[in-house]
Structure formats: structure tokens, C-alpha cells
Amino acid sequence: MQSCFQICITAVWLSVSVHSGRSIFKEQQGQFPLTSHFLFQSPLGRAQAAKNKGNKYFKAGKYELAIQCYTEAISLCPPEKNLDLSTFYQNRAAAYEQLQKWTEVAQDCTKAVELNPKYVKALFRRAKAHEKLDNKKECLEDVTAVCILEAFQNQQSMLLADKVLKLLGKEKAKEKYKNREPLMPSPQFIKSYFSSFTDDIISQPLLKGEKSDEDKDKEGEASEVKENSGYLRAKQYMEEENYDKIISESTKEIEAKGKYMAEALLLRATFYLLIGNASAAKPDLDQVISMEDANVKLRANALIKRGSMYMQQQQPAMSTQDFNMAAGIDPQNADVYHHRGQLKILLDQIEEAVEDFDECIRLRPNSALAQAQKCFALYRQAYTGSNALTVQAAMKGFEDVIKKFPKCAEGYALYAQALTDQQQFGKADEMYDKCIDLEPDNATTYVHKGLLQLQWKQDLDKGLELISKAIEIDNKCDFAYETMGTIEVQRGNLDKAIEMFNKAINLAKSEMEMAHLYSLCDAAYAQTEVAKKYGLKPPTL
Ligand SMILES: *[C@@H]1O[C@H](CO)[C@@H](O)[C@H](O)[C@H]1NC(C)=O
Ligand SMILES: *[C@@H]1O[C@H](CO)[C@@H](O)[C@H](O)[C@H]1NC(C)=O
């Protein structure tokens, strides 16, 4: 029941309103009449009545009328009633949303949030409006605040955060990638890349290249040819690990239409790929592939590389097509099956991957890499099928591979991943140590070993120490910076995390990788903004 005091106030207020010509007490369009004791309510009560009427219109799909009622509620509401007023704005925003008036939605949500800063509904509605208005940065901030307020429990807001982070990452990477300086990877990386091809002319040492085919009987001419051939000079630089000169020397061979034209095109394309310039690599690869009288090994190699490039660009159908064509023109080429097997693993076509690795092993029985990767494929298959017996058999397979090929670092590395998966952390750690013994220069192994310390012993210091070691070995190891950034986010050191992500961004080897890193960086940045604005912080380790 209302007190006399309230009724008196209402009466006074009513007379003022009438004289000032406000129309709020007139019935609008004769629908949903206000209750008869309307006049005896407090201003807040009347505002709420207007809101309730608005809600009825809203449910009936009459959004314009609902908006009028909410507007009325807003003007009736005493300004000190923050929470009520914020609700009225939020409700009006919901009606504007139905009419796709995104600017109005954002404006009303802003009012609602000003009155009630942790108003999840209003923040999320504004996030969606900003998405529609293509204000990605604003959208991200709002949805980040929502996620934190909901303790990352709501699927809907998490999905929107994910979506906008991906869009932002893609957009920024596209811009940045266009203008970046070409970046030559470390010599370890380049050597490891070439070691994944064995049926490959351009990666073979110079002498064999020179003596191949018709050159065999004319060794006397070799030195003269070398001086004139950009390709042979490029090969020389490759042996000297002077990688920066390879593209320009190959270009000379191509421009002179020299006898190593196809080789030079393939070599140049390979280095374009290594420096992360897929758009420059593509026409060269296309040309080699179309040279029907070129050595089939060159064409198959170009197809493998173009296929892998398509995979990186998330075009699996084009990728598969290239690998199949490679197998068609050069069916005895073990590299084709080895690389196609890796593609099939990425596509989760495990059975086909195993078939390809088997074919590779049949053609090249001492290929340790293919054997190790086959084990990994079998492990994945067993693990996803949750079949304990086949998991055991796959683990036994790894033991056999490392016994048979004790010098193959990849064997230990893949085994370590499977062991980590099986929570056999101690043994996984031993396997990483073997990798490090064999390839002390491989920074990636230290990162994996560091991550293992976190998972196994929650030992942050040891983990970070190992990742720092990775950076010491190879200061271009983007994986190390990325991992360090992720750990810093979890510890709540957002500024440090952003610094690490930015380092990784500058080292990214492809536009897609860069987009992913931008997403991580933007997520961290949005969290710092939300922390400043609302004093909200996500949970930390
Ligand atoms: C790729 O190479 C082409 C040709 O050399 C050049 O015009 C372009 O700017 C390069 N793009 C990137 C992303 O490095
Ligand atoms: C480093 O080791 C990983 C396995 O842990 C392997 O996949 C990668 O090719 C190696 N990289 C280099 C640069 O040797």
C-alpha cells in the first residue's frame, strides 16, 4: 500500500505535468491501458508501470510502442534510482535491437552501463551492437568484460569473443603482413626444412647437381658454367649458408633463361616460401608445374610445396589435389607420400595418413621420420578411439622406432608428446632430454620441455627458464615468444604478455600464424582495458 505522503507528492506532480503539457498520462493508441490506481503511485511506481506496459508490447512484437513506453519510464523515473533507470534503458535497447537500430542500441546500453557498470546484459547487448556497427575494438572490450563477469562460463559470450578476436586478428595480419620486411628463418630451420625432402634435386649438394645427367662427361665445362649460372652460384651460397643471396641469384638464372631455369624457379619459390611470401612463390611454382619437359622430380617437388602452401592457407581441397597430382606424375617419390601423410593427419584422416606413411616406408625403408610419424598417427587413432590395447600397441611402436633409429630426434619428440598425453611426464621429460642431446640447437624442444614442467609440476619458474633458454638459442623462435606470452596472461602479467605476443607477431612465418598471434595479443590488450575501466580481473594462476 502506498503511503499518504506518496499520494500527495503524486498529485502535485500530476498538476505540474499537465500544465507543462507532457502527454505521458494520455493513453496511447488505446492499448494496454495503465492501471486505474496509476495516479496513486510514486514516480518510480509509475515508471515501472510504463516499463511493464512496454514489456507487454515487446512480447507482442510491437517494438515501436514498446520504445515509447520505455522512453516514458525513463522520463518518469527519479534520477537517483540508478538501477531502475538502467533497466529501462537496457529494455529500450532490446527493443531497438529488434528494429536493428544499432546506434540507438549502443547509446542506450551506454546509459545503462553508466548507471550500473557491471550490468552484464547491457554490456553484452552493446557488444553485439558494436559487432553490427563493425566497431570491433569496442565490441571486444565489452564482450571481454562480460566474459570476466560471467567467469568465462557462458558459451554465447565466449563465442562472440572468439569470433571478434579472429576477425580482428585477420584484419590486422592482412595489413601488417603486406608491409613487413621479408624475414629469413634461422639456418637450423632452413636445414630442417630441406631435410624433409630426399627425392629432391635442388637440396642436393652442388657436386651431385653439377654431375647429374648430361653434364657427366663434360666436367671440364663445370667451372665456366658455374660462373655464368645464377643457379649454380645460388647453390654455392646455399652450401655456405649465405641464404640472403639465393633469391637474387636464382632470378638472374631465370631472367637469362639459363639451362637451369626450372631448378632456379623451384629454388626461388622455395626461398619465397621460407621468407613467408607465398604470393611471390605461387607463380614460380605454377610455372615449374606446367613445364612438361622439365625433370619430373622438380615438378613433383613443386606440387608438394604448392600443396603445403594451400594447406597453410586453409584450402584443403586444392592441397589434396596437388598431392594427388604429384603422386600421379611421380609415383615412386617417397617425399610425396611423406608430406601427404602429414596433410592427412592435419585433416584428421588418420587411416589414409597411415597408408601414405606405409608407402613412404616401402619406398624408403630407412626413413626414420616416416616411421615415427606413422607411430604418431597410430597413436592418435588409438587415443581418439579410446582403445587401451591399441594405445599400448602404439606406445610400443614408438619404443621400437627409437630403438631402431636412435639418432632420429623427431622420434623422441613425437613419443614425448604421446607420453605427455598419457600423463607419463617423467618419461616424456627423458625423451625431450634425448632430443636435446641429439639437436642441442633446436629451440622448439626447449619450449615443449618447458610446457611439460608446467603441466607436470606446475613449476612456472622452471618452465619459463626453459623457454628463455629456447630464445637464447634461437631469438627468432616465435613459438617460444607465443608460449611465454600465454603463460604471462595466465599469471596476470598482461603488459609483459603483450610484449611477448608482439615479438612473436614480428616473427610469424605466415599471415595465418600472424592472425592467430594478433588474436592472442588483442585478447590480452582487451583484458588490460577492462581491468582499467571496471577494475575487473580474470582469474590468474
Ligand atoms: C612478396 O614478393 C613480391 C615480389 O617480390 C613483393 O612485391 C611483395 O611485396 C612481397 N610481399 C611480402 C608480403 O613480402
Ligand atoms: C625441432 O624439433 C622438432 C621436433 O621437436 C621438429 O619438428 C623440428 O623440425 C625441429 N626444428 C629444427 C629447426 O630443427
- Residue nearest ligand 2's atom 10 by CA: 442
Instruction: Please indicate whether residue 196, judged by its CB atom, sits closer than 6 Å to ligand 2.
Output: no
pLDDT for the residue numbered 532: 85
Percent of the chain with pLDDT over 70: 88
Ligand 1: centre distance to CA 516 (Å): 21
The position carrying cell 639451362 is 259
Is there an atom of ligand 2 within 6 Å of 116 CB?
no
Which of 417, 444, 445 has the most ligand 2 atoms within 8 A of CB, as the residue to mutate? 444
**C-alpha pair distances (Å), 262 with each of 193, 222, 257, 268, 296:** 20, 19, 9, 10, 11
Ligand at minimal distance from the CA of 432 is 2
Residue pair 379/395 in contact (Cβ under 8 Å)? The answer is yes
The span from the CA of 123 to the CA of 176, in Å, is 30
Tell me which H or E stretch contains 280. Answer: helix 278-290
Q: What pLDDT score does 69 carry?
A: 97
Ligand 2 site, residue 410, Cβ cutoff 6 A: yes
pLDDT at 11: 29
178 lines ligand 1 (CB under 6 A): yes
Confidence category of residue 210, pLDDT binned at 50, 70, 90: low
pLDDT range class, residue 6, cuts 50, 70, 90: very low
Is 189's C-beta closer than 6 angstroms to any atom of ligand 2?
Answer: yes
Distance 247 CA to ligand 1 centre (A): 12
Ligand approaching nearest to the C-alpha of 247: 1
CA of 182, closest atom in ligand 1:
14
- Return the ligand number nearest the Cα of 181: 1
pLDDT at 530: 87
The pLDDT tens digits of the residues spanning 467-510 come to 999 999 998 899 999 999 999 988 889 999 999 999 999 999 88
Least confident span in 23-32, 73-82, 187-196: 23-32
The pLDDT-based confidence of 531 (bands split at 50, 70, 90) is confident
CA of 333 to the centre of ligand 2 (A): 23
Per-residue pLDDT reduced to its tens digit, 369-410: 999 999 999 999 898 888 889 999 999 999 999 999 999 999
pLDDT tens for residues 9-31? 222 222 223 333 333 333 333 34
Kindly give the distance from the C-alpha atom of residue 223 to the centroid of ligand 2, in angstroms, as a whole number.
36
Cβ of 192 below 6 Å from ligand 2: yes
Q: Are 462 and 450 in contact (CB under 8 A)?
A: yes
Ligand 1 centroid distance, CA of 182 (Å): 8
Cβ-proximal residues to 541 (8 Å cutoff; 6+ apart), any chain: 460, 490, 491, 492
Q: Is the pLDDT of residue 170 over 90?
A: yes
| Contact partners, residue 130, CB within 8 Å, separation at least 6 | 106, 136, 138, 139, 142
Contact (CB, 8 A) for 111 and 119: no
The Cα–Cα gap between 242 and 221 comes to: 25
Q: Which has the minimum average pLDDT: 97-106, 153-162, 217-226, 236-245?
A: 217-226
pLDDT tens, residue by residue, 418-432: 999 999 999 999 999
Q: How confident is the model at residue 39 (pLDDT cuts 50, 70, 90)?
A: low
